[in-house]
Amino acid sequence: MNFKNLSLRIRIFLSMLLLVLIALIVTIQVAIYQYKEQSNDYHNKRLIRKENNIKATIENELDRTTYVVETEEIPRIFRDQIHNISNNNKLDIDIYDLKGKLLISSVPTFPEDTKNYNLSQKIVNSIEKSENKRYIKNKKIDGKEVQASYTYIEDTKFKPIGILGLPYLQDNSEQNKELNEFLERLAFAYFLLLLVGITIAYWLSSYITKSIKEVSDKISEMHIGRRNEKVTVINASREITTLLDAYNEKVDELEESAVKLAKSEREEAWREMAKQVAHEIKNPLTPMRLTVQNFERKFNPKDSDNKEKLKEFSQSLLLQIDTLTSIASAFSNFAKMPTHNKEKLNVVEVVKHGLEIFNESYITYHPEKENITAQLDKIQLTRVVTNLVKNATQALVETENPQIEVRVFEKEEKVIISISDNGKGIAEEHKNQIFEPKFTTKSSGMGLGLAMVKNIIEAYKGTITFTSELNIGTEFLVILPLS
């Protein structure tokens, strides 16, 4: 679990609980350390008392003895008394010469015992170097704490004649019992404290984060298109007040920005609409001009087919005029592009009339059959074809032996219009943008033609796709349902 990913409320709550637990651990450590120190101090003082008592008894024995008070005579002097002294003080007694060799002990030894009971040279040197001529060594025997005290035995003239060793077994059972009882009471007290801490932490974290949550909820509800409410919290802290002031200030700024944005969007929408209308009007006007010029140039009064040619010329112009009329009508209704009206028509015939405005000899038309009937809008289908063919001609500007092939065929209850060319193709980085409004790779034009074509086709629940390779050509496939 990542602590940074938790909410502020949970982090405050966990932090307070962590403080209680840390306090409990520290208190237990201090208590254990204190009890150990007290236990060691108690045993040290007890050992010193016993040591002083034993030394006093030894000094009395040396005063009364009939033996010469020398190191060599110590075993004889204490032969009978060492056990009494040990029993009276309930402590084992060892007496060594000044070099650490064991002279006599209250603990029975056996001749065949090979264990070395002599003192190490380190202990002997430590006694000699210490200020009070006393050395204490702590060690463990069979898992029990043993404290051994070593000090000099002096004659009546305060001359050291031996070393007194007192092995003292520390009995900490009583202290450990008291320590366990104290820790149990401490754990119970901290358990109650933990419950109180949980309650306080929950309340405090909720109180601290309440204002922040209100601001968070308001921010999540903030919307550019509507009026946003300001947040007011009574008796809030200075930090929360600063946060609320900043939020309320941003609400005012957002409202101002929303007004400016709405105005800008309306202006942009009208500009975009004007561009689309201009683009759509320009498409039929250019072919109409070319058609009229071509008819004027090729018109022969003596030609016997003049009546038929004039009829075809009139139909082409009327088709484009109908397109302009539809655009003008839609523009008068708040710039809506022509809505699609379904009518039963021959797609093969409509596509043929749409191609008649183009005079390029390299445009070929190959319908699968003479009649493919579908429920479509004649004007908008014409606009789709003329836009795609016009784009194809513009892709052939620098192409040798240019070719544009238009095919119409029927497949699986759908009519498919294919428009392919052998032009420069579409670059890979432009393929994802080709149907976006205002995108164009040409030096002129608004880049709205293919976007409008796509919208018209999708309005009939159809699809438009393309395949293209650089310097090989491009093919657009328009797929429309028959009904």
Query: What is the pLDDT, as a whole number, of residue 336?
Result: 46
Give the separation between CA 230 and CA 218, rounded to whole angstroms: 8
The architecture in CATH of the region 340-481 reads 2-Layer Sandwich (3.30)
Among the four given CATH numbers 3.60.21.10, 3.30.450.20, 3.40.1350.10, 3.60.21.70, the one describing domain 3-177 = 3.30.450.20
Name every residue whose Cβ is closer than 8 Å to that of residue 168 and which is 6 or more positions away in sequence.
Answer: 43, 46, 47, 50, 91, 146, 147, 148, 149
pTM beyond 0.85: no
Q: Are the beta carbons of 313 and 306 closer than 8 angstroms?
A: no
Take residue 233 and report the two structure tokens written for it.
């919290």
Sign of the CA dihedral running 67, 68, 70, 72: negative
**Sheet hosting strand 144-154, strand order edge to edge:** 102-105, 94-96, 160-169, 144-154, 134-141
Domain boundaries, the chain: 3-177, 340-481
Residue given tokens 């908008």 in the structure block: 380
Work out the end-to-end distance of the chain between its first and last CA atoms, rounded to an integer number of angstroms: 58
Mean pLDDT on 200-224: 70
Q: Are the beta carbons of 204 and 197 closer than 8 angstroms?
A: no
Q: Return the minimum-mean-pLDDT range out of 153-162, 214-223, 413-422, 468-477.
A: 214-223
Spell out a b/e string for 308-333, using b for 16 or more CB atoms within 10 Å of the CB, else e.
eeeeebeebbebbeebbebbeebbee
Mean pLDDT on 401-422: 92
Query: What one-character-per-residue DSSP string does 282-334 give?
Result: HHHHHHHHHHHHHHHHH--TT-TTHHHHHHHHHHHHHHHHHHHHHHHHHHHTT
Mean pLDDT on 169-190: 72
348 to each of 288, 407, 411, how far by Cα in Å?
21, 9, 14
Q: Hey, which residues does 18 pair with through a beta bridge?
A: none
User: Does residue 113 or residue 480 have the better pLDDT?
Assistant: 480
Query: What one-character-per-residue DSSP string does 130-165 give?
Result: STTSEEEEEEEETTEEEEEEEEEEE-TTS-EEEEEE
* pLDDT of 337 over the 60 cut: no
Sign of the CA dihedral running 331, 336, 342, 348: positive
Q: Percent of the chain scored above 70 by pLDDT?
A: 78
In one-letter notation, the amino acid at residue 66 is: T
DSSP state of 72: G
pLDDT band at 332 (very low <50, low <70, confident <90, very high): low
Spell out a b/e string for 392-410, using b for 16 or more CB atoms within 10 Å of the CB, else e.
bbebbeeeeebebbbbbbb
Query: What is the pLDDT, as a whole number, of residue 262?
Result: 67
Give the separation between CA 213 and CA 383, rounded to whole angstroms: 56
Q: Return the minimum-mean-pLDDT range out of 48-57, 434-443, 450-459, 460-469.
A: 434-443
Query: What is the pLDDT, as a whole number, of residue 335?
Result: 44
Residue given tokens 């498919």 in the structure block: 416
> What are 56-100's pLDDT values in tens digits?
888 888 888 888 888 888 888 888 788 888 888 888 888 888 888
- Pairs from 332-336 (Cβ < 8 Å, separation ≥ 24): 335/270, 335/273, 335/274, 335/276, 335/277
* pLDDT of 216 over the 50 cut: yes
Mean pLDDT on 412-432: 88
Give the separation between CA 294 and CA 105, rounded to whole angstroms: 141
Q: What are phi and psi of 469, to 5 degrees?
A: -135, 140
User: Does residue 56 or residue 172 have the better pLDDT?
Assistant: 56
